[in-house]
């Protein structure tokens, strides 16, 4: 597989949801793989069933190899809720750990190995910004019933906000059902924070002529009045990993490898989605490769670690990263360093909890309501 490239972050927003950023102690910074593997396994033996480790599909090999469950964010949160473990260690990013805290029992503690693992896209729709924008859009359309819908890749406070305004949460797999719910309940939909998933969902519902992209702070962009005139208002957020894929990557691949198939995530740009053979969530991407015939070739349009995992897990299938040499990893996911995992586990052995994720009770109740509405659609 090609060397990975870490995506640069181009945003003025805060990347870190929490202020309690505990630095990795010096004694853990230079551990080699053999030593930390031995220490992780020793800590897990000591902790036994008291701990469960969740590894997101986008995590590096050294994390998923120690994970009890591997999957996408919501799937992993459900696994945590079904586990009897006192401690849930989430190998993912902040919003994922928050979702786990929302749906797990009160006597379960969720730990994020590094608090620096904050998703930039989730940070593109912070609560204060959304509150201000909501006031503008509702003032511009005082008679409209606007239903806010947030992608799972958002912070708990945004999920709570959507619930409070009659909205809900969605995943990349059920976004179209969430939109249908929104139009059953109201006149318009405000979709946050991923404009590409929103646009692709609008196309799926044949509503592509009813969308507007809105950045309330762009003086050259749509005004609140112009945004309010549309049926679907897309917040101007994106995943910088998936936005980097271009239609030209698929065109070049097909020229070089006409036998190759392409599967991409719906967080990709519209033209990339249209050019792909299969479009779907990380679960769909995994199932596509798992069900492929031996000798098939599949190019993967998502985070490079998942492409690497699939290549390793399914040697009978040729798995290629769609970007080729320009493939990249998610910088936020990269913050879950295996040395951090060693540290938080050994601290638990000593009876100390590090980097606990705890959603405020009122926020948790509303966010749970947004999730419950999703489960009903």
Cβ neighbourhood burial of 130 (10 Å; 0-12, 13-18, 19+): buried
- Nearest-CA neighbor of 190 among 171, 168, 209, 174? 168
Annotated binding-site residue? 216: no
Annotated binding-site residue? 119: yes
Mapping DSSP onto H, E and C, the string for the chain reads CCCCEECCCCCCCCCCCCCCCCCCCHHHCCCCHHHHHHHHHHHHHHHHHHEEEEEECCCCHHHHCCCCEEECHHHHHHHHHHCCCCEEEEECCHHHHHHHHHHCCCCCEEECCCCCCCCCCHHHCCHHHHHHHHHHHHHHCCCCCEEEEEECCCCHHHHHHHHHCCCEEECCCCHHHHHHHHHHHCCEEEEECEHHHHHHHHHHCCCHHHEEEECCCCCCCCCHHHHHCCCEEEECECCHHHHCCCHHHHHHHHHHCCCCEEEECCCCCHHHHHHCCEECCHHHHHHHHHCCCCCCEEEEECCHHHHHHHHHHCCCCEEEECCHHHCEECHHHHCCCHHHHHHHHHHHHCCCCCCEECCCHHHHHHHHHHHHHHHHC
**Residue 364 in tokens:** 């948790």
Question: What pLDDT, on a 0 to 100 scale, did the predictor assign at position 10?
Answer: 39
Question: What pLDDT, on a 0 to 100 scale, did the predictor assign at position 291?
Answer: 98
What is the spatial distance between Cα 121 and Cα 123, in angstroms, rounded to a whole number? Answer: 5
Annotated binding-site residue? 201: no
Annotated binding-site residue? 96: no
Does the reported pTM lie above 0.85?
yes
Q: Are strands 356-357 and 109-111 parallel, antiparallel or unpaired?
A: antiparallel
Annotated binding-site residue? 152: yes
Q: Which CATH superfamily is domain 126-238 in?
A: NadA-like (3.40.50.10800)
Annotated binding-site residue? 162: no
Strand partners, 320: 299
Question: What pLDDT, on a 0 to 100 scale, did the predictor assign at position 74?
Answer: 87
**Residue 322 in tokens:** 């769609």
Low-confidence ranges of the chain (pLDDT < 70): 1-21, 325-327
Full strand arrangement of the beta sheet holding 278-279: 278-279, 261-264, 297-301, 318-321
Architecture per CATH, domain 9-120+332-360, reads as: 3-Layer(aba) Sandwich (3.40)
Long-range contacts of residues 309-313, Cβ cutoff 8 Å, at least 24 apart: 309/57, 309/61, 309/64, 309/70, 310/285, 310/286, 311/1, 312/61
Question: What pLDDT, on a 0 to 100 scale, did the predictor assign at position 20?
Answer: 63
Residues of the chain with CATH 3.40.50.10800: 9-120+332-360, 126-238, 245-327
Question: What pLDDT, on a 0 to 100 scale, did the predictor assign at position 15?
Answer: 44
The C-alpha angle 57, 250, 254, rounded to 5 degrees, equals 120
Annotated binding-site residue? 153: yes
Contact yes or no for 18/117 (Cβ under 8 A): no
**Residue 97 in tokens:** 């750990």
Contact yes or no for 269/246 (Cβ under 8 A): yes
Q: Which CATH superfamily is domain 245-327 in?
A: NadA-like (3.40.50.10800)
What is the spatial distance between Cα 131 and Cα 128, in angstroms, rounded to a whole number? Answer: 5
User: What does the pLDDT look like over 229-259, one tens digit per residue?
Assistant: 999 999 999 999 999 999 999 999 999 999 9
Distance of alpha carbon 128 from the chain centroid: 21
Question: What pLDDT, on a 0 to 100 scale, did the predictor assign at position 178?
Answer: 98
Question: What pLDDT, on a 0 to 100 scale, did the predictor assign at position 73?
Answer: 87
């Amino acid at each position: 597989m090609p060397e990975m490239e870490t995506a640069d972050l181009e945003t003025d927003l805060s990347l870190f949801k929490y202020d309690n950023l505990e630095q990795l102690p010096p004694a853990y910074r230079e551990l080699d793989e053999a030593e930390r593997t031995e220490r992780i396994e020793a800590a897990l033996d000591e902790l036994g069933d008291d701990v469960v480790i969740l590894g997101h599909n986008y995590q590096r090999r050294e994390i998923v190899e120690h994970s009890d469950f591997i999957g996408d964010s919501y799937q992993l949160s459900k696994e945590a809720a079904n586990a009897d473990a006192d401690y849930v260690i989430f190998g993912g990013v902040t919003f994922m750990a928050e979702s786990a805290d929302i749906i797990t029992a009160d006597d379960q503690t969720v730990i994020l190995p590094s608090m620096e693992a904050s998703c930039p896209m989730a940070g593109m729709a912070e609560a204060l910004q959304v509150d201000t924008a909501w006031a503008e859009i509702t003032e511009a359309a005082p008679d409209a019933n606007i239903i806010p819908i947030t992608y799972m890749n958002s912070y708990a406070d945004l999920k709570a906000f959507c619930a409070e305004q009659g909205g809900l949460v969605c995943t990349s797999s059920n976004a179209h059902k969430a939109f249908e719910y929104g139009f059953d309940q109201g006149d318009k939909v405000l979709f946050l924070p991923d404009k590409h998933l929103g646009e692709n969902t609008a196309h799926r519902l044949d509503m592509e002529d009813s969308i507007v992209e809105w950045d309330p702070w762009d003086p050259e962009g749509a005004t609140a009045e112009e945004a309010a005139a549309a049926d679907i208002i897309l917040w101007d957020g994106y995943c910088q990993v998936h936005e980097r894929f271009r239609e030209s990557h698929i065109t070049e691949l097909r020229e070089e490898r006409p036998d190759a198939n392409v599967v991409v995530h719906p967080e990709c740009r519209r033209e990339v989605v249209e050019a792909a053979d299969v479009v779907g969530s990380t679960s769909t991407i995994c199932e596509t490769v798992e069900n492929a015939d031996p000798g098939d070739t599949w190019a993967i349009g998502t985070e490079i670690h998942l492409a690497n995992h699939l290549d390793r897990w399914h040697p009978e299938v040729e798995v290629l990263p769609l970007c080729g040499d320009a493939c990249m990893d998610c910088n936020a996911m990269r913050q879950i360093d295996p040395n951090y995992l060693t540290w938080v586990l050994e601290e638990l052995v000593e009876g100390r909890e590090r980097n606990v994720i705890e959603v405020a009770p009122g926020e948790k109740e509303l966010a749970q309501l947004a999730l419950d509405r999703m489960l009903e659609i």
